């Protein structure tokens, strides 16, 4: 649908002014183009739809994200959606690599060979409940004896993030063991 350049400029000015109607209209006007951009990167229809919605929502939460000095509104939105799609694809790749590492880890660990089979099972259940990223960090630290720095390098994550994952994971395990303790 061809629009007059004055109409495009008015939409861009309203979008830059963070007017709600401008976001809704920009979404309607450019949805199919933005979806195509996201789909070309992600190759998944649902992910592409979510990507477009998330990119627009992120722009809504950032009042000064767009200004006419950044180029046309159409081009700006295309770049934002493309960047969001690339970020999603990278996160998916990291998640898949993490899942592959977890799948390759042995199920049995020396440290879990506790004389009391009930305790061993409780620890295994608590460990299994951890989110993948925390479970990987805790496993590398305690089952493989790696340092936080080695774990950060192996998981390609900042050192502080690794320390937080291990700390949160251990707290969750302790909480889980504490809550199961009353069930005996």
37 lies in the same domain as 91: yes
Task: Provide the domain limits for residue 79.
Answer: 5-96
Residues in the chain, total:
184
The winner for highest mean pLDDT among 46-50, 93-97, 157-161 is 46-50
Residues 77 and 136 grouped into a single domain: no
Per-residue pLDDT tens over the stretch 115-135: 677 777 888 888 889 999 999
* Residue 4: per-residue pLDDT: 55
Domain's final residue, options 96, 130, 151 = 96
Query: Is 170 found in the same domain as 121?
Result: yes
Report how far residue 122's alpha carbon sits from residue 78's, in angstroms, rounded to the nearest whole number. Answer: 50
Calculate helix-pair angle for 73-104, 5-16, nearest 10 degrees: 50
DSSP reduced 3-state for 154: helix
Say if residue 46's pLDDT is above 80: yes
Do 13 and 74 fall within a single domain?
yes
State the Cα–Cα distance between residues 139 and 169, nearest whole angstrom: 10
**What's the whole-number mean pLDDT along residues 144-153?**
86
Smallest CA-to-CA distance from 40 within 54, 52, 23 is with 52
Of the CA atoms within 13 Å of residue 19, those in its CB half-sphere come to: 12
- Mean pLDDT, residues 158-175 taken together: 88
Total domains, the chain: 2
pTM, full prediction: 0.53
Indicate the pLDDT class of residue 51, thresholds 50, 70 and 90: very high
| Last-in-domain residue among 74, 96, 118 | 96
**CATH code of the domain in which 121 resides:** 1.10.10.10
Mean pLDDT of 22-33: 91
Task: Examine the fold and report which residue of 64, 96, 128 is the final residue of a domain before the chain moves on.
Answer: 96
């Amino acid at each position: 649908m061809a629009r007059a350049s004055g109409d495009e400029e008015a939409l861009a000015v309203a979008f830059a002014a963070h007017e709600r109607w401008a976001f809704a209209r920009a979404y309607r006007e450019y949805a199919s183009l933005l979806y195509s951009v996201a789909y070309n990167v992600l190759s998944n229809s649902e992910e592409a739809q979510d990507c477009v919605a998330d990119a627009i929502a992120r722009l809504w939460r950032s009042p000064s994200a767009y200004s006419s000095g950044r180029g046309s509104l159409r081009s700006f939105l295309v770049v934002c959606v493309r960047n969001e799609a690339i970020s999603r694809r990278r996160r998916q790749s990291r998640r898949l690599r993490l899942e592959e590492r977890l799948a390759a880890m042995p199920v049995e660990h020396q440290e879990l060979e506790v004389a009391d089979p009930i305790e061993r099972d409780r620890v295994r259940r608590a460990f299994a409940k951890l989110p993948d990223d925390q479970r990987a960090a805790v496993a590398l630290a305690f089952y493989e004896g790696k340092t936080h720095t080695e774990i950060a390098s192996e998981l390609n994550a900042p050192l502080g993030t690794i320390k937080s994952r291990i700390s949160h994971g251990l707290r969750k395990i302790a909480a889980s063991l504490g809550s199961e303790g009353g069930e005996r």
